[in-house]
Amino acid sequence: MSKEVVLSGIRPTGFLHLGNYFGAMRNFVRMQSEFDCYFFVANWHSLTTHPDTQTLRQSVHRVIAENIACGLDPEQVALYVQSDVPEIAELYLYLNMLAYKGELEKTVTFKEKVRLQPDNVNAGLLTYPVLQAADILIHRAVKVPVGKDQEQNLEMARNFAERFNHRYGDVFPLPYGFNYGGELVKILGLDGEGKMSKSENQLSTLYLADDDETIRKKIARAKTDQGPATENSVKPPYIENLFTLLKLVSTPDTVSKFEEDYNMSQQGDCRIRYGDMKKQLAEDMIRFIAPIREKAADLQSNPELLSTIIKKGAEKARASAATTLTQVRKAIGTGN
């Protein structure tokens, strides 16, 4: 039996951070040996919100390099750039005839972007979910590892696939969100406000490209307080978040030491020393991030190797895309 197809995409609109790693990339790495995986950089999508393309190529290369540095094996998965696969654009065109203006206008992400960029409400923004559906359906993917914020886009992809199948005949299986059991780890910004972000909130986000000193500085200024007022207190979100990070990068012994200190603390007898905890967290974080950063930097300093990898990814993706597109054209009557 052939393996199920997994697909996910990342927009190259900033720097990858810890939230991306623990929310996405770590799972991709686990999936690569189990499934037939397609991971790509959604550079067409980024044009809907980032018309200035001066740093686009560099960002695309960085995302590819960082994905490999995180453990994705370009021999095992198809790691490619969206714009290298023109088949996606043709499927996008067909799907556009199955997508209605009313439903596109109602999507949460569209409304949000209209609010953020009222002077650039372009048609690409409106049809963003159609392009995303084309990304997924072009490989007939059934499992799409994405965060909760992408659920609506996935639902639309299913709708377009169903309409297509109904109108032209069965070509597409229906894609669903997928993550290994349980909740995804949620990582807040170091200020305890909102999530880490590729482009905003930069001082509160730990990037995979941050150098050691930057990591130390950011963690040192992470939000804390005077400590708990009673034993076994519930942790406020910004403290819980520091423990979450500690659990991800430190040894179990370190985690239990600080957990105990926290739980034994009370007003007038504060055992937990946030300063020490942050110092430990910073050093363990550096041990985690530095090898990824260095591997990604090595790759980026070898543009020939990177471009060989990207070409190979495109070949794999185009082979699969062409097979689907042949069926699509045949079903519609646009093929010969």
- Just list the catalytic residues: 113, 195, 198
Is 132 near ligand TRP (CB under 6 A)?
yes
Residue 304's alpha-carbon distances to 204, 300, 309, in angstroms, are: 34, 9, 9
Count of residues interacting with ligand TRP (CB under 6 A): 13
In the chain, the amino acid numbered 201 is: N
DSSP string, 165-202: HHHH-S--PPPEE--SSSPPPP-B-TTSSSB--SSSSG
Query: Nearer to ligand TRP by C-beta: 174 or 305?
Result: 174
Closest-CA residue to 45 (of 32, 25, 59): 59
**Per-residue x/- marks for ligand TRP, 79-118, CB under 6 A?**
----------------------------------------
DSSP 228: -
- The strand pairing partners of 10, in sequence order, are 41
Could you say which of 14, 15, 16, 45 contacts ligand TRP (CB under 6 A)?
45
C-alpha 289/C-alpha 82 separation (Å) is 27
Could you say which of 16, 31, 42, 130 contacts ligand TRP (CB under 6 A)?
42
Is 277 near ligand TRP (CB under 6 A)?
no
- Please identify, among the stretches 4-12, 57-65, 160-168, 207-215, the one whose residues bind ligand TRP according to the rule CB under 6 A: 4-12
Query: Nearer to ligand TRP by C-beta: 129 or 227?
Result: 129
Closest-CA residue to 27 (of 62, 77, 65, 61): 77
Query: Nearer to ligand TRP by C-beta: 11 or 140?
Result: 11
Which residues of this chain interact with ligand TRP, rule CB under 6 A? 7-9, 11, 42, 45, 132, 135-136, 144, 146, 150, 153
